[in-house]
Amino acid sequence: MLSPFEESLLSIMMIIIMFGMGASLTFRDFRIAFKQPRAIAVGFSSQYALMPLIAFGLSWLLNLTPAQTVGMVLIGCMPGGTTSNIFAYFSRSLLSLSIMMTICSTLAAFVMVPLLMQLYTQGIDEALRIPPDQIARLLFALLIPTLIGIWLRRKNANIGAVVELTGGILGALVIIFLLATWVPRNWQLLLTTPWTVYIAVIMVGLIGFNFGYFFSRLLGLNPQKSRTVSLETGIQNGPLAALIVSLSFSGSVQQEILLIPVMYSLFIVLNSTAATFFYRKWTFREELARDQAKIEPASTGSPAP
Amino acid sequence: MSNDAVYDQAPWVKLYSPAQLALHQGQAKSSHHWHSIPEMLSESAAKYGAQKAFTTCMPNGMNGSLTYAQVDEMSTAFAHYLRAELGLQAGDRVAVQMPNCLSLPVAVMGVLKSGCILTSVNPLYKRREMKHQFCDAGVKAIIVCDMFTDKLQDILEQTPIKHVVVSSLAQWFPPVVRGVLKLVLKYWNQVIPKHQLSHHDMDQALNLGRQRQKEQNLNIKDYWQGLTRADTALLQYTGGTTGVAKGAVLSHGNLLGNVEQMDSLVQGHLLSGQETVLTALPLYHIFAFSVNLLEFWHQGAHNILVPSPRPIQNCQRAFDNYPISWMTGVNTLYNALLNEEWFTAFPPKHLKVALAGGAALHATVAERWEKAINCPLVEGYGLTESSPVLCFNPLTAPRPDCIGIPTPGTQMRLVDDQGQTVPLGQPGELIAKGVQIMQGYWQQPEETAHALRDGWLYTGDIAIMQPDGRLRLVDRKKDLILVSGFNVYPNEVEEAIAGLEQVQESAVVGVPDPLTGEQVQAYVVLREEGLDAATLIKHCKKELAAYKIPKKVVFVAELPKTPVGKVLRKDVRAMALGQSTAA
C-alpha cells in the first residue's frame, strides 16, 4: 500500500519538518512548557485514557470486524504524531506544548501501547508487540533535527526564520504530494471499503479533537492550551501504526488491518486542516482580545481604582 | 505670595538631581553646543560609527541592521538626492510615510540634513487625511513604504507632491532574507499593492545622491551649516481628536532642547553606547520620534524597530533575540505585554527602565508591572506641541498615578477659565513655557493665538499640583461636563465604571439637558455578557457623587478611536447627540 519510496519520503518529510520546527523554538519555550506540568499531564491522560476508549467504543458501536477493531484500537493507542506538531504550528497553538506532549507520549509508548493493546484486544495480543527499535528511530528522527533547528535559530535568527518557513512549506507540499499519488493508485480499494470503516476513521479524529478540548477545559487549562491538547489528542501517529502492522502481520490479515491506519492518516490530514483553519482564526482573535483585555490588579482583593 | 509666584518658584526643583538643577538654572556644562539636529546626528555617527544603530525585527525573527556609520552615509546620500538630484531647496517640505523599518531613520535624517522640513505621516491615514496633510504642508517629495502606494496613487494628482521615493519593510535585509520576506509580504500577507507611480526606489535614490556628490564634489555640511535653532525642523500633525489635523511647527531648537532635557533625566541610569532600546511605538509619532530616534541616537543606543506591535506577540522575537535594556510604550502596550505568558514568565533580564507616555497609564497596569517585571515603569507627560516631553517622573523615585514634575527649564502654572492662576492643590488648566514649546501651528494664526498666549502653551489638560510639585492629570478641559454648575471629569466616571469586571472600556460624554445644563452619558463596551444599565448605575452610586452618575447608559460593540488607540470622545458625543435627537 505504501511504496518504499513513499516510506522514505515520509521520513525525510519528518526530518525537514522537525528541523524547521526546531528553528521556531527556543529553550525558553520549553522552560515555559515545563512551568505547567499540569498541561502536559492533562495531555498525557487524554492521549492514553480517552483515545483508546474512543477507538474501541467506535469499533463496538459500528460493529467492525475483529481485524478492523485491532487496527482502530492500535490507532487509538498511538502516541501523538509529528503531524500534530505541524498543525499546532499552523493553527498558532502552543507549539512547545505540542512537541513536549509528542515527546512524552512517544517515550511512554514503550510501556503504554503494549499495555493498552493487551487490555483492549485480549486474545490477539501476542502478535501485536511494538518493535522498540522502531520507536527509537522515530525519536531520533524527531529530536536530532529539532535540536539542530533550535541551535541554528540561536546562532542566527535570519537563517532560523528562513529554515522555519521552508520546513513548513515543504512539509505541506510533501503531504499534498503523498495524498495526490496514493489516492489514485488505491482508488479501487477505497471504493470497496465498507462505509462503517469510513465513519470510524473519520470520527475517531473528530471525537478526539472534541474530547481533548473539553477534557482540558474541564481540568482548567486555558483555551489555547486546550486547543493544543485537542489537536494532539485527535492526531495520532498513523505512519507508525502502519509500520507496526506491516511488521507484525502478513497476507490478507495485514491488508485488512493496514487499511485502518492508512485511511486514518488520509482523513486526519483533511480533518486537521479544517480544525487548523478554525483554530487559527480563533487564536488570532484571542491575541487581539488579549491586547485589549484589562489586567487584574496585582494584589488580589484590592478595591477597584 | 500670589498664586503666580507659588508656581514660578518651581516647588518641584527639590526633586531635581544636580544635573537637572544645573540645566534648570541655565548653568548646565555646555556639552551640547549644537546649532541644528544634523550637527547632533553627525556627532553621534562619528562617535559610534561601527556600532549597530538600527535593527528591524520581524515577528518571525527575520532582521536587518544598519550601523551608525551606514545610516550616516546613507542619509547623507539621501540629502544629496533631495537637494542636488530633485532640486529641492532648504525649507521645502518632505513627507515620510512609513512604519518602523530601516528606511525610516535614513529618510528622516536625510531630510533633516538636507535642510528641508520633515513632516511625518501616519501610514494608517486614509486618503482624505493624507491629502489634507500633503496639501496643508505643501509637500514636494514623499518617501513612502510600498505597502501604501495604492492610497498615494489615488490622491497624488490632488496634492503638490512632485517626487515619490518608494521603500520597503525588507529594505537592507540580508539578500536571501530580503527576497523571502518580500515574497511573504506580497503573496502570503498580500499587503503590497500594485501601483503605477513614477518613482525612484530607495536604493536608486541613494545611488543618484552618491553620484551627484561625486560629480559635483558636494559637501553635506553646506546644507545645514547655516541652520540655527530657530529654524523649523519638523511639521508634526496633530489634533485628530479635535477636528482637522494641524501642523505643529517644531524647530531644531525645540527638539534639541527636549533632547537635552531628556539627557538630564536619564543621566546616571544610562550607559552611552551600550544600551538596547525597543521601539515598538511608531516613529512617525512624536513620542517615539523624540525619545527613541533622537535621544537614543544621541546616546549611541542600539534601536530595535518593531514594524507593528499588534498583536503583541510580534514583539516576542525582539525580546528573545536582543538584550533590551530600555523601552517606550503606551498604556495599551504595557497592558498587552502583561497579558502574555512568554513575557511575564521570563521578564527581559536586561530591562532597566520602561517609559510610558502618550495616554494616561492605568494604576493597575503600573502596579502589576512593578510586581511582575523587575524594573520601574515610569510615566511622563507631553504633547506634540511640546516636542513632546513636558513632565517626567524622576527615575529614582517614580510614583504611580502621577505624571511627575516639569522637565528642567520648564515653567508651569495651572490656570482657571479666566487665565487666573489657581491656588496650589486646586485643579486648573496646565500651561507651560520652555525651550521645547512649538513655534505655532503651520499657517494657522488663529489656532496658534489660541494655543500660545504670551509664550505660554495652553495644553487643554486639567491637572492638580501637589505641594512637592508633582502633578496629577485630571482630564481634558474640553471633555469637562458641567452638570448644574458642578464639574464632572469623564475620566473619573470611566474609572468607576472600569471597576466592574464585565466592562472592557467606556467613554463618558456630556450632552445638553434642559434641566441640568448637561447630563452625563456612558458608552460602554462589555468584554462579557451579563451587565445591565441598572447594575452599572447602582455600582456608580457607590463610587460617585450623585451629579456624576450617568443618566443614560448605552452598550456598544466598540468605541471610535484614533489610529494610536485613544478613544475619540468627540465622536462618541456626536453619536450621543445623534441618538438623542432620533429618540
**Partner B contacted by A297 (CB < 8 A):** yes
Residue A115: give its domain's CATH number.
1.20.1530.20
> Over the stretch A254-297, which tens digit does the pLDDT of each residue have?
777 888 888 888 888 888 888 888 888 887 787 777 666 655 54
pLDDT (average), residues A15-39: 76
pLDDT tens for B435-465 read 999 999 999 998 899 899 999 999 988 999 9
Domain span at A242: 4-281
User: Which chain A residues are Cβ-neighbours of B310 within 8 angstroms?
Assistant: 288, 291
Are B471 and B463 in contact by the 8 Å Cβ rule? The answer is yes
Distance, in Å, from the CA atom of A29 to the CA atom of A7, rounded to the nearest integer, reads 31
Distance CA A245, CA A237 (A): 13
Residue B24 C-alpha cell reads as: 534648570
- For residue B537 the three cell numbers come to 448605575
CB A130 within 8 A of CB A107: no
The reply to whether residue B62 touches residue A287, judged by beta carbons under 8 angstroms, is: no
For residue A130, pLDDT beyond 60: no
Quick one: cell of B353?
527602565
Report the CATH superfamily, name and number, of domain B480-582: ANL, C-terminal domain (3.30.300.30)
Q: Are B489 and B474 in contact (CB under 8 A)?
A: yes
Cα B246–B256–B385 angle (5° rounding)? 25
CB contact under 8 A, B364 and A298: yes
E strands present in B466-516: 471-476, 481-483, 486-488, 503-513
Question: Which set of grid coordinates corresponds to residue B317?
Answer: 522575537
Residues 12-51 of A with CB under 8 A from B: 24, 26, 28-29, 31-32, 35
- The pLDDT tens digits of the residues spanning A85-103 come to 778 877 877 777 887 787 7
Selected for mutation to probe chain A from B346, B377, B505 (highest A CB count within 10 Å) is: B346
Residue B68 pLDDT exceeds 80: yes
Question: Is residue A74 domain-resident?
Answer: yes
Q: Could you state, in order of their start, the residue ranges of all structural domains in chain B?
A: 69-227, 480-582
- Topology of the domain covering B69-227: Rossmann fold (3.40.50)
Amino acid at A187: W
Asked whether the beta carbons of residue A291 and residue B332 sit closer than 8 angstroms, the reply is yes
Assigned domain for A45 exists: yes
pLDDT of residue B428: 92
- For residue A48, give the C-alpha cell: 492514553
Residue A301 has pLDDT above 50, yes or no: no
Residues B393-405: tens digit of each pLDDT: 998 888 878 899 9
pLDDT, tens only, B268-325: 899 999 999 999 999 999 999 999 999 999 999 999 999 988 778 889 889 989 999 9
Q: What is the pLDDT averaged over residues B559-578?
A: 80
The total of structural domains in chain A comes to 1
Check if A152 contacts B (Cβ < 8 Å): no
Which residues, other chains included, contact B523 with Cβ-Cβ below 8 Å and sequence gap of 6+? B506, B507, B508, B509, B554, B556, B559, B572, B575, B576
Q: What is the CB neighbour count within 10 angstroms for residue A25?
A: 21
Q: Is A173 inside a domain boundary? A: yes
- Give yes or no for residue A37 having a pLDDT over 90: no
C-alpha–C-alpha distance, residues B154 and B193, integer Å: 12
Minimum CA–CA partner of B321 in chain A: A157
Instruction: Name every chain B residue with its beta carbon within 8 A of the beta carbon of A153.
Output: 61
CA angle centred on B578, ends B574 and B583, rounded to 5°: 145
- Looking at this predicted complex, what is its ipTM? 0.73
The minimum CA-CA distance between B99 and chain A, rounded to whole Å, is: 19
Question: Mind spelling out the 3-state secondary structure of chain A?
Answer: CCCHHHHHHHHHHHHHHHHHHHCCCCHHHHHHHHCCHHHHHHHHHHHHHHHHHHHHHHHHHCCCCHHHHHHHHHHHHCCECHHHHHHHHHCCCCHHHHHHHHHHHHHHHHHHHHHHHHHHCCCCHHHHCCCHHHHHHHHHHHHHHHHHHHHHHHHCHHHHHHHHHHHHHHHHHHHHHHHHHHHHHCHHHHHHCCHHHHHHHHHHHHHHHHHHHHHHHHCCCCHHHHHHHHHHHHCECHHHHHHHHHHHCCHHHHHHHHHHHHHHHHHHHHHHHHHHHHHHHHHHHHHHHHHHCCCCCCCCCCCCC
Q: What is the mean pLDDT of chain A?
A: 78
Looking at residue A302, its pLDDT comes to 31
Residue with the bigger pLDDT between A106 and B526: it is B526
Average pLDDT for B471-489: 82
Give B345-388 pLDDT, tens digit per residue: 889 999 999 999 877 787 778 888 988 898 889 999 999 999 99
Instruction: Pick the closest to residue B61 from A14, A74, A156 (CA basis).
Output: A156
Q: All 3 cell numbers of residue A26?
A: 527556543
Backbone phi, psi, residue B273, to 5°: 80, 0
State the pLDDT at residue A304: 31
**What does pTM read for this prediction?**
0.82
Q: What is the pLDDT of residue B582?
A: 36
Q: Which of B60, B61, B499 sits opposite A304 (nearest CB)?
A: B499
Determine whether the interchain pair B62/A157 forms a contact, defined as Cβ–Cβ distance below 8 Å.
yes
Q: pLDDT tens, B177-204?
A: 999 999 988 887 888 999 999 999 999 9
**Structure confidence at residue B209 (pLDDT):** 96
Q: Is the per-residue pLDDT at B104 higher than 90?
A: yes
Beta strand pairing call for B93-97 and B117-120: parallel
State how far the alpha carbon of B446 is from the alpha carbons of B134, B136, B241, B242, in Å: 21, 15, 18, 15
